[in-house]
Structure 1
Amino acid sequence: MLPDYVKAENGFTLFLNEALEGEIKSYGIVVNSFYELEQAYADYFQKEMKRKTWHIGPVSLHNRSNIDKVERGIKTSIDEHSCLNWLDSREPNSVLYISFGSMPRITSAQVLEIAHGLEASNHPFIWVIGRILDYSSREKQQVESVLLPVGFEERVTKSKRGLIIRGWAPQLLILEHPAVGAYMNHCGWNSIIEGVTAGVPMITWPFSSEQFYNERFILNVIRVAISMGNEHWVPLTELPRVTIKSEKVAKVVKRLMGSEEAEVLGMRKRAAEYRDKAMRAFEEGGSSYANVDAFIAELKSRRKIQDGHL
């Protein structure tokens, strides 16, 4: 039997139903992906479901200059030069990049577990800490400042083993840097696409919505990630809690960042291969490049029909 929060009708479920209805009635779908990444799904969608799709991504590759990659419409909270200088001082593939997106459903208590786990892993990291849900009071509220373990930031900063970023980060520049060897994220689709495009293996930590489906895709289909092990989906009506202890954080980070086992080496090889496929797809003559042309041609054709020229 489904839990009540799944069966209940509220503003969020109404929004989802309207979105689904709009998708079903739509003429076609433009996708931030590339054909080579999910070929079987793209073929099934078009041939079996008879839906028009245009895979035109990764759209992040449209950001060519460093200033575009840094800001993307929002000013970063850290100077990109100091961030890149910090990365320049690290060995290739030695840094773990951690970001759970702009709207993470994560508690301050879970933040403490992550911090202790990162410190215990003894691997360099860049951690983007955004607004965190604070449930210390009766009313849910987002807080700008996050309580980290006593002395944590001073220790990791002084030893140059960690870099803490509060707010918006120059994510594309960080992911593309050769010092970055893995990306821990919440499995939002844009984050996954940017990780794939950068060619780095990932540590998955989904929280809600379609993130668990996205996790299955990168774990079991393209096989470029390992899981943190979170299986607790957080509905909007429930308080999130600590789902992963610091020991598990340290264990997973050590496995991906410090292991030479065949599975991890295979992930790194596959991640690099998908990066190359993404680049080729976006270049002239590539699948995404051709899909953009096809999409524009389709729009022109529909416009002529609507204007009564055909």
Structure 2
Amino acid sequence: MKTESQLNIIFVPYLSPGHLNPMIDTARLFARHGVSVTIITTPANASTFQKAIDTDMNCGYNIRTQLVPFPTAQLGLPDGAENLKDGTSPEMLGKISYGMSMLKDPIELLFHDLQPDCLVTDLLYPWTVESAAKLGIPRLYYFSSSYFASCARHFIHEHKPHERLVSDTQKFSIPGLPHDIEMTTLQLEQWVRTKDEITDFMNAAYESESRSYGSLYNSFHELERDYEHLYKSTKGIKCWSVGPASSWANKSNEEKANRGHKEELAQEPQWLNWLNSKQNESVLYVNFGSLTRLSHAQIVEIAHGLENSGHSFIWVVRKKDENENGDRFLQEFEQRIKESNKGCIIWNWAPQLQILEHPATGGIVTHCGWNSILESVCAGLPMVTWPMFAEQFYNEKLLVDVLKIGVSVGAKENKFWASEGVDAVVGREKVSKAVVELMGKEESSEMRMRVRKLGDASKKSIDEGGTSYNNLMHLLDELKSLKASKALEKTNLKI
């Protein structure tokens, strides 16, 4: 039951796995620390995490989901296509994005009905700043990536160093950062390189940060100390690091196994038996995230690169990625690696937290999505970095140049879906070279030491008295004080 003094907070996650999962984990943390939590989302998205919410409710936490229907039929979308990961073509992605913008009115009605004390909303819902102002409550801006990416983007936006170059492949240094970080224009987000309506939308989203009460970051102080300080001094708004949310919220084995997935996993899946048969730290885990779609040419190069490296690997492949050629190629490849016992393919979805924490796993090939990075750091695993789009190229720089826990595969272009063009394909030699550098014990021993240290720090940060734990407690105290003074004002007005 809710009490008068209990904080009542609404969370509104953006409908894409990289945004949705960390916010759900964060909402669950708030509920575990005495907050009455409501998560507003759509039916298909709720089905991916409802089991965790039900478990929390059964443990006595005050947390629930409030559903708003997604206009799939109206937009001519297939039933259940309510998340960016469901988009299989640019046209379909456009419809899903438009569907999200149509949710504004029903969500605002819920804000009005539920009368929350605070809104925690994704950066991609800038309109919620006005919603919070109308209700006279704080809006917390939720950023599901790194302080480093936020600072790099800010200084590039402010100084525009990329606009003074002769070519897209010429390197420039990002001004204002404590480390010398070089990038090319081709590695910046497409909406920064080419001005369009997405540019206006993204600028509005980032601008809403400065008009918010404060920011919540899924990071921890020990990981990004310099950039947390830089962010605070540059942005001039309050911020709280409350990460890594995933390892804080998903401590039980069952939570790790089923996170972000509605179907129950088989008790002894094939991949687990295969992993159990491998030596400690001998297997490379390969996963490009839920939004990446690879061309057939790139899949072929990855397959040969992994095979030629001589190291064992588990590779998560999307069924939807292949055409008939690809289908045949991958089936033959899967058969071959089964026979040699060198590799294992998992189709479509894998319980990443479980695989990363398995003793046989020794490293990961990652698209540099922030959730995968945090989960790898928590598991003490170094990374082969292969950024694809959005802020992933910034995250790669943090891993390779600042933290020195990553080996770059040499991706050159920031592009939402890897193009079919041969230029965009990373060749098998580069793949193999990066894998050998990461998995060879001598080559990577210092990197492993550094990332293990950060993994230990991540665990301490979420324990009682740790940096992220204390940040969450301070934030909740501040929100309670705001609620109390607002109640007092109302009382005085009545008098």
**Is TM more than 0.5 here?**
yes
* 1:222 shift after superposition: 1.0
* 1:132 shift after superposition: 5.5
Of 373, 378, 389, which residue of structure 2 is paired with 1:208? 389
Query: CA deviation digits over 1:176-230, x for unaligned, max 9?
Result: 1111111101001111111111100000000111100000001111111110011
Opposite residue 293 of structure 1, the aligned amino acid is M
What is the match of residue 46 of structure 1? 232
* Distance across 1 between alignment mates of 2:353 and 2:250: 9
Q: Which stretch of the first structure deviates more once superposed, 220-229 or 147-156?
A: 147-156
Of 404, 409, 413, which residue of structure 2 is paired with 1:228? 409
CA contact (8 A) 1:77 1:166 kept: no
Task: Assess, with a 3 A threshold, how the Cα gap between structure 1 residues 106 and 237 changes in structure 2: closer, same or farther.
Answer: closer
> Is 1:180 the equivalent of 2:361?
yes
Moved over 3 A (4+): 1-5, 75-80, 131-134, 145-150, 235-242, 305-310
Opposite residue 165 of structure 1, the aligned amino acid is I
* Distance across 2 between alignment mates of 1:110 and 1:297: 50
Opposite residue 123 of structure 1, the aligned amino acid is H
Greater relative CO (CA pairs within 8 A, separation 6+): 1
Which one has the bigger helix percentage?
2
> Is 1:70 the equivalent of 2:257?
yes
Task: Assess, with a 3 A threshold, how the Cα gap between structure 1 residues 202 and 302 changes in structure 2: closer, same or farther.
Answer: same
* Distance across 1 between alignment mates of 2:427 and 2:273: 32
Opposite residue 219 of structure 2, the aligned amino acid is S
Task: Assess, with a 3 A threshold, how the Cα gap between structure 1 residues 186 and 147 changes in structure 2: closer, same or farther.
Answer: farther
CA contact (8 A) 1:108 1:147 kept: no
* 1:77 shift after superposition: 8.8
TM-score (norm 2): 0.56
In structure 1, the gaps of 5 or more residues are 137-142
What is the match of residue 291 of structure 1? 471
CA contact (8 A) 1:232 1:243 kept: no
Q: Which stretch of the first structure deviates more once superposed, 90-99 or 156-165?
A: 156-165
* 1:88 shift after superposition: 1.3
User: SS of the counterpart of 2:268?
Assistant: helix
User: SS of the counterpart of 1:37?
Assistant: helix
Query: CA deviation digits over 1:91-144, x for unaligned, max 9?
Result: 11100000010000421210111001111112110001126567x8xxxxxx9x
In structure 2, the gaps of 5 or more residues are 1-162, 169-184, 491-495
What is the match of residue 217 of structure 2? 31
* Distance across 2 between alignment mates of 1:235 and 1:190: 18
* 1:255 shift after superposition: 1.8
What is the match of residue 460 of structure 2? 280
* Distance across 2 between alignment mates of 1:127 and 1:78: 18
CA contact (8 A) 1:132 1:146 kept: no
* Distance across 1 between alignment mates of 2:355 and 2:416: 31
* 1:160 shift after superposition: 2.1
Opposite residue 251 of structure 2, the aligned amino acid is R
Of 184, 203, 212, which residue of structure 2 is paired with 1:17? 203
* Distance across 2 between alignment mates of 1:235 and 1:68: 30
CA contact (8 A) 1:103 1:131 kept: no
Query: Number of residue pairs matched?
Result: 299
What is the match of residue 336 of structure 2? 155
* 1:240 shift after superposition: 6.1
TM-score (norm 1): 0.88
User: SS of the counterpart of 1:98?
Assistant: strand
Opposite residue 362 of structure 2, the aligned amino acid is G
* 1:248 shift after superposition: 1.4
CA contact (8 A) 1:76 1:168 kept: no
Q: Which stretch of the first structure deviates more once superposed, 220-229 or 231-240?
A: 231-240
> Is 1:248 the equivalent of 2:435?
no
Task: Assess, with a 3 A threshold, how the Cα gap between structure 1 residues 159 and 271 changes in structure 2: closer, same or farther.
Answer: same
Query: CA deviation digits over 1:50-91, x for unaligned, max 9?
Result: 221111111111201111101113146963632322211101
What is the match of residue 446 of structure 2? 266
User: SS of the counterpart of 2:222?
Assistant: coil
Opposite residue 177 of structure 1, the aligned amino acid is H
Opposite residue 256 of structure 2, the aligned amino acid is K
* Distance across 2 between alignment mates of 1:114 and 1:216: 22
Higher Cα Rg, which structure: 2
CA contact (8 A) 1:77 1:167 kept: no
Task: Assess, with a 3 A threshold, how the Cα gap between structure 1 residues 132 and 215 changes in structure 2: closer, same or farther.
Answer: farther
What is the match of residue 380 of structure 2? 199
